[in-house]
A and B are shown apart, each in its own frame.
Chain A
Amino acid sequence: MNERDKNAPAEESSEVGEVGEPTEGGLSRRDWIAGLEKGLLILEAFDFDNQRMTSAQVAARTGLSRTAARRYLLTLEHLGYLHSEGKTFALTPRVLKVGWSYFDSAPLPRILQPFLQQITGQTGEAVYASVLDGWDLVFIARNGATRVMTTGFVLGARVPAQLASPGIVMLSALPEQQVRDWLATCAMTPFTPHTITDPDQLYALIAQARQLGYAVVEQQLQTGVRGIAVPLKNRHAKVIGALSLSLPMAAEAREQTLARILPALQQAANALINLV
C-alpha cells in the first residue's frame, strides 16, 4: 500500500450509493487509490505521438514528479505492461489485456453480435455498434462486409462524436443545452473539406436526427463516405448506443441507400429493445 493507503481510515466512509455518477470530485479523498489512477493515466499517456517516453517525458505529460513517474514506470515494467530500452519506455501487448477486460465482461457486445451479422446478411455491408464515452464514440462490436474486405475501425477505436452518424444520433438523445454548451467549447478539427465546424450548423444536424429518428452524415470524417445510424434503445427508452454502417457515396444516391439500409438497421434496433 502507498502512503495514502496506510493513512486511510479503516472504517467504511461514504455510502457507495452516492458514487453512481463519475463526475469530477465525486470521490472522497480517502476513497482514492492514487496509485491506480495515476498508473492508468500513465498508460493512457502513450499514443501515436508519444510511442516511447523517458521518465522525464512521462512526468511532463502526467504532472507527476520525475521520481514518482519513474517508480510508476518501473512498477508497470515489473508487471509486464511496459518494456524499456535504455532510458525510454514503451507499451507491450499486455496492455490490451486490461482494455479487453471490458469485452471479457460486458454483455452488450455479445448480445449485439448476431444482430450485426443479420444486418450484414441483409445489406452486404460492414456494420458497427458504438456507445458514447464522454464526447467520443467508441466502437464496441462490428461485423465485416460480404462484398469487400474490411479493416475498418477496430473494436475500441474512438472518434469525436460529432464526426460520425452514430455520434450524431446519440448526441440527439442528450439535453439540448448540454450539447450546445459542449459544441461551443470543443475544438472542431476539420477532417475533410466538408467537415462542419460551425456549432449552430452542427446542432441543426443533431436536431434533424432527433426528428427523423436516424442520422445520415456525409464526408465529416472521410471524404466520399456516408454514414447511417439509428439509436439503440433499451426497454426504458433510454438511448444506450447506436447501430451504424458507412458506405461509399459514389455507389448509390442517398435516397437509394436509405431505402436499402434503414429498414434492416431499424428492425435490428427494435428487436434489441427487449434484450438490452
Chain B
Amino acid sequence: MIDQSPVDLDIQKRDLIEGLMKGFDVITAFDSDSPQLSASEVAERVGLTRSAARRYLLTLVHTGMAASDGKKFWLMPRLLNLGQSYLESARVPRAVVPFLQRLTQQLQESTNFSLLDGDEIVYVTRVTAAQLVNAGFEPGTRLPAYTTTAGRVLLGMREDAEIQAYLERVNLIPHTHMAMTDKAALFQEILTMRRQGYGITENQFEMGMRGIAIAVKNRNGRVIGALSVTSNIAACSREEAIARGVPALQTTANTLMMWV
C-alpha cells in the first residue's frame, strides 16, 4: 500500500481515461520556475495541441483548481484539497501523530514520518520542536530518495539489485558541497544503514543539519515508512546524537509496529 510504484495492471487500454491522465500532467507542469503559464507553454511542456491544453486549463479553472487573467494560468489553493483527501483518508499519517509527539517531547527535536513513492521520499507527518526556524519537512514535501536520511534508510529495505537499479537510473545532485555524489559509496552507505538498523547523515541536504532515521515495519514485517529526527549538528556530537536518538526511534518503531 505504501511503498509502491505504478504496476502494470491487467487493464485494457480502452478502459483508461485519457483526459484524466493528461490532466495530471497539465497540473504538474506548473512549478516554481514557471508559476504562471499560457496555454501554448503548457501545450509545449505536456505534449498537447494549444487548443487541447487550453481546454484542460479551462476545466481546471472551472473546478476552482486554477485561475486565469485571460492569458496566463496559475494554480489555486483548492488543489490542496486533493492532498488533504489523502491525509484525511489514509490511516497511517494520522496514527503516527501521538508517537511523533512523544518522540519530539523526548528528544526536543523535530520529528517526521515519511514513506517512499517510487523513487521519491514523501514526508506525510511532522511534529516540530520549539525552535525559531522549524527543522524537518512540511507534510507533503517530496524529494529524491537519495537526498535524505529517511530516503536512504527506506532504499535499504529494498533488494540489492533494486537499489543498484535505482542508483543507475538516478542522477545524484549535490544539495550541499559535502553531499555524497559517488554511487558506489552511496550503495555502501545504504547497506550499512540496513545492517545497523538505522541511518545517520550530516550536511547532505542542508548544511549544519543531521538526520537520524529508522524504518518502521508493520506486524507482517512489511516496511510502511520511516521515522526520522532532524537536528542541528552544533547541538551535540554525532556519538551523543546516536546514543540519544537511536534508542528513542527504535522504541517508537517497536510500538508503532503493533498499531499500524
Contact = CB atoms under 8 A, between A and B. Distances in A.
Interface of A: 1-2, 5, 8, 10-12, 15-17, 19-20, 22, 26-27, 30-40, 43-48, 50-51, 71-72, 74-81, 83, 85, 90-107, 110, 117, 120-121, 131, 133-134, 138, 140, 143-151, 154-158
B122 interface: yes
Contacts of B129: 144, 149
Given A35-B18, A80-B6, A102 B56 contact: no
Contacts of A44: 81-82, 85
A11 B51 CA distance: 8
A206 B3 CA distance: 47
A104 B31 contact: yes
B248 to A, nearest CB: 14
24 contacts: A5-B18, A5-B19, A20-B67, A22-B67, A35-B19, A35-B23, A36-B23, A40-B23, A71-B17, A77-B11, A78-B6, A91-B85, A91-B89, A93-B86, A95-B85, A98-B79, A101-B28, A105-B32, A120-B132, A144-B128, A144-B130, A144-B134, A147-B130, A156-B83
A150 B128 contact: yes
A97 B75 contact: no
Interface in B10-27: 11, 15-24, 26-27
B69 interface: yes
Question: How big is chain B's contact interface, by range?
Answer: 35 or more
B124 A93 contact: yes
B16 A105 contact: no
B70 A32 contact: no
Contact of A12 (B51, B79, B127): B51
Contacts of A90: 1, 89-90
Nearest to A104: B31
B65 interface: yes
Given A147-B130, A149-B101, A27 B58 contact: yes
B198 interface: no
B60 interface: yes
Contacts of B80: 99, 102-103, 138, 140, 155-156, 158
A101 to B, nearest CB: 5
